[in-house]
Amino acid sequence: MSFPDAPGYPPVRYRDEQGERSGRLRRAGTPPDLVGPATEIGFLATAVQTDGEFGLYRYTMTGPPTGPGPHFHRTISESFFVLSGTVQLYEGGDWYDATAGDFLHVPVGGVHAFRNASGERAEMLLLFAPGAPRESYFAGNIARAAAGLQLSEEERLANLWAHDQFDA
């Protein structure tokens, strides 16, 4: 049987006659995958799990104030959806106090940043598309923070570049 492409949709990738049982449920009470001094991250869907389509993380900032400076990515877009608390989001020009329900999408190459300026608990969803192996970037950051280690400027830039992150 032929499966025609639907106008405006990506090309057909699944061609079997019947659908398959392939969903993955992550329960609300699942502990975070990474826990650091001021951050907890739950990997809701990694690039490996989504076959490179996207990565979706639940990112919790628990204090003290934290967050990356303005940067951009050459290969991925990034979106932020605030679940609770106040997260300051930077969209390349201005900082905004974002609260539950606020959303920011940043296309590939767009300068952005986020921070928890208050140090109070705040949660958001981070969406990367297409998917990228960002887990190792966040794991490294948390491990260094927990150990109190600082990278030299050369090491910091090499780490960022290895993870498609460029200072703006």
What residue ranges do the domains of the chain occupy?
A: 34-167
Contact between 71 and 159 under an 8 Å Cβ cutoff? The reply is no
Residues 11-38: tens digit of each pLDDT: 888 889 899 999 999 999 999 999 998 9
Beta bridge partners of 104: 80
Express each pLDDT in 35-92 by its tens digit.
998 999 999 999 999 999 999 999 999 988 888 999 999 999 999 999 999 999 999 9
In CATH terms, the fold of domain 34-167 is: Jelly Rolls (2.60.120)
Please enumerate in sequence order all residues whose Cβ is within 8 A of that of 140, keeping only pairs 6 or more positions apart, or say none.
159
pTM here?
Answer: 0.92
